[in-house]
Amino acid sequence: MSSDYGFQQLVLLNSAGYERAELPLDESVSLIAPNNTGKTSLINALQYLLIIDKRHLDFGAHDKDKARRFYFPSNSSYILLEVTLPESGSVVLGCVGKGFSYDYNYFAYQGPLQIEEYRLDNGKLVTQPQLLEQLAHHGRTANFYSSTEFAEMVYGGARKRGQTSSEFTVFRLENRKDANAYRQVLTRTLRLDKLSSGEVKRHLLQIFSRQLPDSVVDFKQEWDKAFAEVNQDREQYRAAKNQQTLIDELDRHQEERLAIRGRIIARRPLIDDGLERWQNHYQTESKNLQHQHEKLRKQEADLLERDREQTRRQSELNQQLEALNKDEQRHDELGNRFALIHDRSELEQQLSSATEERNRQIALLSNAHGQSAAAIDDLIRREEEELSALGKEQETLSDNLYLTLKQHISKDRLSVLNRGLARQLLTLPPGDYQLDPNQLHRWLEGMAADRFELPGLNLSVADQPLQYQQRSNEEIIRLIDDCQSRLRQLQEQKTATQELDTQKKRRAKLEQEVKSLEKDLEQFDELTQLQNSRPDRLKEIATARQELAKIEHAQEQAGAQQQALREQIQEVANQRQALDAAHQEIDRIRQNRGDTDEQFNWLADLPHTPWVGDPELPLGQLAQTLRDYQRDCYRLKELDRDLDHRRINLHSGGLTKFQYAPNPEEEIRLMVEFRHHLAREAEALEKKARSAVVTVTASLRDLRGNLQSFENAMHEFNRLISRRKLSDLKVFRIQPVHESHLVEAIDLLIQTAEKVESGESFELFNQSSVLDDRQLDQARQLLIDEGSARHGLKVADLFRLTFELGKENQDVESFDDIDSAASNGTVLMAKLVTGLAMLHLMQDKTRNVQALCYLDEALALDAANQRSLIKTASEFGFALMFASPSPLITAHYCVPIQQMSNGKNHISRKHWQILQPLEAVEA
Ligand SMILES: Nc1ncnc2c1ncn2[C@@H]1O[C@H](COP(=O)(O)OP(=O)(O)OP(=O)(O)O)[C@@H](O)[C@H]1O
Ligand SMILES: [Mg+2]
């Protein structure tokens, strides 16, 4: 089935040993020439225009450099292809040698292809430098392209500026991504003998890769990824389970920490306020107590002073009483003693008697003592004289000289007489004297006052005593008594002198007696005085006793008072001591209250358990609260360290999953929560393990699905290539055969996953059975090993292609290698059909542009097969060219290659032979 669009002709000028070659391409061609002439090299020239990419050019035994020299020996060597395209009509795609280093250049322009246009006026071929100008000269707008641009252009990619879309697009593919694969298959269709089973498989995969998302499954990675979490979780689960007790302790400590934090937060302002209040309280109270103390001290001192005063008074009173009592006693004593004495005079009488007695005795003794008896007698005589004188005086008392004189003379004259006359004369009684008062008077007048003159005698009486004193009778009696007493004394003296010792003793006794009496008198006076003072004294005693009693009572009371005071003082002292002690304690704790660390300032921002204690802090509880608070602060710090330590220990024990919590506290919370939900965790872990199986098999399912899709595609493909009978084959298909160990492993995993997913055997699949299932594990290991050996599992790894051939009446046979499947011709056919089918699949089937395929060594096929092939190729959109030493009559054209005398090959359109069935010609 020829097309209106497609390859028209291939022209070689000055290339591949051809001076000029014109080859029709719009129908099947039989290219005829002996061996080693240039059939293959002619067809290969098309590679430059269709394969383009130097890497994919394939000239069999000839290397690419050699080929370049062969195809582009000069800058006027041309390979030209004329194609008719639905969009732009005839186009010419060309390749021209550059002349140096056998390089070449692509160019293209709107056709048709006129060989004459390449010839200069001088008959020579135009060279590359002049080509565009030359073509332009013929009205062709040609451009040079780099190989990349050219390829893009030919396969419908980018275009040059000024170019319309698809202007030069020969091959429009359903998917532009297939360009590479297409070119490779195309290369092979030009050299079918080289098409191997492996390549068929590769190309088919490439072709179907559109339907098979290019999935390479790194099963190990997938597995590890899917189970990474499960394994990690399981490790964490185990770590938590093994460390349950430690976590419980952690929990307890954390709870304690939260509670302590709450308490500290609540108490801190209370304590600050309490401390301030305490300071005031302490100062006030301290002053108060001190004041009280001083007051009591003063009271005590006063009391003591009073006491001392009382004691002093007491002793004074006692002394007084003692004295009074003594007096009383004395009184009694003296009373008794003088009971019989009624009057003092009695005693006085006794005393004076005794005194007299004694004096007499003294006198007696003193007289006796100092005078001799004769002297005493003399004295006695004198006394007797005196006594007689006195007696006379007494007798003349009423009338004596003196008295008479006194009557007659002046006092002064009397005095002189009194001094000059003896006493006895003056007392003479009237009878014994005669007086002439005148005479006397006269006489006396002539006498000096102090002189007593007698005729012839003048006496000084100035110093003479008065001889006579006028005395009363009583006086005289007294004097007589005295005189008599003196006489008696003298008598006694006289006797005493005669008995002196006795008298002395008597004197002592008498003295004693006097003394005793004096004393008695004295004592009596005393008694009298005591008696007189007694009422006062008794009153005094009573008063003193009263006062004493009062003092005693007062002292007793003072004692009690003192005791009370002492107790009060002690009490105040105790209070002060207690207050000071409390203050010291509070101060001590305050200095070291333990909440100075930075963390205490933002404690409220940290997690804590609100404290529900008393919101008031009475001062009485301050110290205790402060102590508790301080203990809390230290405990908190201890807990901080402790909890960190425990947390780190849990890390060491493997529980690390919460390490990336925003803060350690959160981590602890999560750890504890985790521990409490271990049972749930176990369940979740199991679910996760199952879902990991499901996840891990998802990629396998994809792979498995892709395998299925590929199988479906192959089914389609086989239908395509079986449309026409190949040779004598009843069956020809390319069959994907599973790499069963891999596919079975995949299926096992998928089935497990399905069971798990459907939950149908929930009980059976506990976590360990999923993770530890032996078969599953083998499957997993196989997939991992195979995957790592192949750098990931691909669909291609899951099957190999076998070629199944079956002749009529024979069993279908499978072959891994197509080359060994049948005879050369049959194999060639099979390959060609396969290649064309592949190209066909890639092409845009809505655009019918016929290309070319080439069958070398075509003589291996019989005519029926030739026809069948031509038809098949045509159906796939290709004109088929056979090359053989002798002509094949099944082709439309027969084109012989002419060998010139200059050794160059030559094909001219004049030598083309068109073969037609007779009927057609006749018609
Ligand atoms: N790419 C190339 N580079 C250099 N020389 C080549 C190249 N291709 C072919 N030749 C040479 O061209 C000549 C013709 O070879 P070619 O293969 O075209 O002959 P043929 O007609 O196909 O022969 P046969 O019927 O045996 O296949 C040979 O001498 C060969 O060495
Ligand atoms: Mg050949």
Please give the full DSSP string across 353-422, using - where no structure is assigned. Answer: HHHHHHHHHHHHHHHHHHS-HHHHHHHHHHHHHHHHHHHHHHHTTTS-HHHHHHHHS-HHHHHHHHHHS-
Cβ(165) – ligand 1 distance below 6 Å: no
User: Do residues 825 and 865 lie in contact, with contact meaning Cβ atoms separated by under 8 Å?
Assistant: yes
Q: Which residues are CB-neighbours of 182 under 8 A, at least 6 positions away?
A: 155, 171, 173, 839, 842, 843
pLDDT of the residue at 413: 81
Residue nearest to atom 23 of ligand 1 (CA): 36
Centre of ligand 2 to C-alpha 186, Å, is 18
| Distance, first Cα to last Cα, the chain | 20
- Most distant CA atoms of the chain, gap in Å: 276
Residue nearest to atom 14 of ligand 1 (CA): 38
The residues with which 733 forms a beta bridge, in sequence order, are 804
If we measure between CA atoms, which residue out of 750, 695, 684 comes closest to residue 225? 695
Cα–Cα distance between 424 and 404 in angstroms, integer? 14
Cα–Cα distance between 903 and 302 in angstroms, integer? 163
Domain residue spans in the chain? 5-171+864-918, 210-231+680-816, 372-500
pLDDT of the residue at 760: 47
Cα–Cα distance between 193 and 179 in angstroms, integer? 22
If we measure between CA atoms, which residue out of 744, 780, 648 comes closest to residue 217? 780
In testing the pocket of ligand 1, which one of 32, 37, 881 has its CB within 8 Å of the most ligand atoms?
A: 37
Cα–Cα distance between 549 and 308 in angstroms, integer? 16
Cα–Cα distance between 626 and 633 in angstroms, integer? 10
Atom in ligand 1 nearest the alpha carbon of residue 59: 1
DSSP collapsed to 3 states, 193-219: HHCCHHHHHHHHHHHHCCCCCCCCECH
The residues with which 851 forms a beta bridge, in sequence order, are 878
pLDDT of the residue at 764: 36
pLDDT of the residue at 19: 93
User: Do residues 50 and 25 lie in contact, with contact meaning Cβ atoms separated by under 8 Å?
Assistant: no
Cβ(17) – ligand 1 distance below 6 Å: yes
pLDDT one-digit tens code per residue, 233-242? 888 888 999 9
pLDDT one-digit tens code per residue, 637-657? 999 999 999 999 999 999 998
E strand or H helix that includes residue 454 = strand 451-454
Residue nearest to atom 17 of ligand 1 (CA): 40
If we measure between CA atoms, which residue out of 148, 152, 12, 169 comes closest to residue 80? 12
If we measure between CA atoms, which residue out of 160, 167, 15 comes closest to residue 89? 167
User: Do residues 371 and 489 lie in contact, with contact meaning Cβ atoms separated by under 8 Å?
Assistant: no
pLDDT of the residue at 6: 93
By CB atoms closer than 10 A (0-12, 13-18, 19+), residue 895 is buried
Give the Cα-Cα-Cα angle 844, 847, 852 (nearest 5 degrees).
85
Locate 496 and state its tokens: 């005493």
Q: Which fold has domain 5-171+864-918?
A: Rossmann fold (3.40.50)
Q: Which residues of the chain have pLDDT under 50?
A: 1-2, 760-767
If we measure between CA atoms, which residue out of 919, 846, 851 comes closest to residue 880? 851
Cα–Cα distance between 818 and 831 in angstroms, integer? 8
Q: Which amino acid is at 451?
A: R
Bridge-based pairing state of the strands 898-899 and 905-907: antiparallel
Centre of ligand 2 to C-alpha 41, Å, is 7
Cβ(868) – ligand 1 distance below 6 Å: no
Distance (Å) of CA 503 to CA 368, 492, 496: 10, 10, 6
By CB atoms closer than 10 A (0-12, 13-18, 19+), residue 127 is middle
Centre of ligand 1 to C-alpha 17, Å, is 9
Tell me the ligand closest to 886's alpha carbon: 1
Residue nearest to atom 16 of ligand 1 (CA): 38
Atom in ligand 1 nearest the alpha carbon of residue 42: 18
Centre of ligand 1 to C-alpha 41, Å, is 5
Give the Cα-Cα-Cα angle 546, 549, 554 (nearest 5 degrees).
125
